[in-house]
């Protein structure tokens, strides 16, 4: 789930590029573990900074146009380039496993229930 350019530009400029972990919620749905990439994705040679959320959950259908709420809990590693697509995929899998381990810690699990994820009905929040 990628954030729009407008949202990316509104992120604090002092957040380092790299891979993070935390919690994500689509609309008023369930809260799931996530991995977040902030940066330029050097493997794909992006010229615009992006913020891409990988929600660790399989959804039954697309959720384009829904509100995506995230809470960033921790940092996994800096952004880097890879020699091959296979190496990139392997790193992503390692990032997912690290996020799962970290988010199972009691101090991180409790944030899953935070009121931040309870959107008021009919309200659009940026």
Active-site annotation, residues: 52
d(CA 39, CA 34): 16
Q: Residues, the chain, total?
A: 126
56 in Cβ contact with 101 (< 8 Å): no
Is residue 10 within a helix (H) or strand (E), and if so which, with residue range? helix 5-10
């Amino acid at each position: 789930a990628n954030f729009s350019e407008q949202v990316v530009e509104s992120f604090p400029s002092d957040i380092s590029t790299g891979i993070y972990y935390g919690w994500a919620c689509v609309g008023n749905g369930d809260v799931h573990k996530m991995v977040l990439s902030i940066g330029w994705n050097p493997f794909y040679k992006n010229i615009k900074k992006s913020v891409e959320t990988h929600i660790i959950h399989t959804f039954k259908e697309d959720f384009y146009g829904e509100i995506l709420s995230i809470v960033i809990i921790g940092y996994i590693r800096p952004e880097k380039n890879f020699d091959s697509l296979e190496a990139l995929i392997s790193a992503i899998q390692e990032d997912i496993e690290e996020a799962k381990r970290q988010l199972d810690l009691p101090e991180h699990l409790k944030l899953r229930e935070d009121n931040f994820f309870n959107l008021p009905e009919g309200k659009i929040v940026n």
